[in-house]
């Protein structure tokens, strides 16, 4: 699952309030909305802030959902 879709899923699954998540993370609510709608790529520093603002169970689920997507990407062979 891509990062935006995973973020949206976790917010809905854990019934998190996006406004509160924005306040706790320091990332604008409008920016979080754009991430959730896949209209903007998530910046690494914002992702860290958002994940820190989530309960640990939500954070772990987000990482698991995104990691599942990464498994389908072929890795380059190491010489």
How many whole angstroms separate alpha carbon 70 and alpha carbon 19?
A: 29
* Cβ burial 49-68 (10 Å sphere, 16+ → b, else e): bbbebbeeebbebbeebbee
Q: According to the model, what pLDDT value does residue 1 have?
A: 85
How many whole angstroms separate alpha carbon 79 and alpha carbon 71?
A: 21
Residues 23-71 have pLDDT tens digits of: 999 999 999 999 999 999 999 999 999 999 999 999 999 998 888 765 6
Q: According to the model, what pLDDT value does residue 15 have?
A: 94
Q: According to the model, what pLDDT value does residue 12 have?
A: 94
Pick the CATH number of 3-70 from 1.10.260.40, 1.10.620.20, 1.10.3720.10, 1.10.340.30: 1.10.260.40
Q: According to the model, what pLDDT value does residue 67 have?
A: 86
Alpha helices in 1-79 (DSSP H): 3-13, 18-25, 29-36, 44-53, 56-70
Domain ranges of the chain: 3-70
């Amino acid at each position: 699952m891509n990062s935006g879709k995973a973020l949206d899923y976790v917010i809905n699954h854990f019934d998190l309030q996006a406004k509160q998540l924005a306040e706790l993370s320091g990332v604008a609510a409008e920016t979080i909305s754009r991430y959730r709608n896949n209209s903007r790529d998530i910046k690494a520093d914002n992702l860290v802030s958002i994940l820190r603002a989530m309960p640990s169970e939500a954070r772990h689920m987000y990482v698991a959902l995104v990691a599942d997507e990464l498994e389908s990407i072929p890795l380059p062979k190491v010489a």
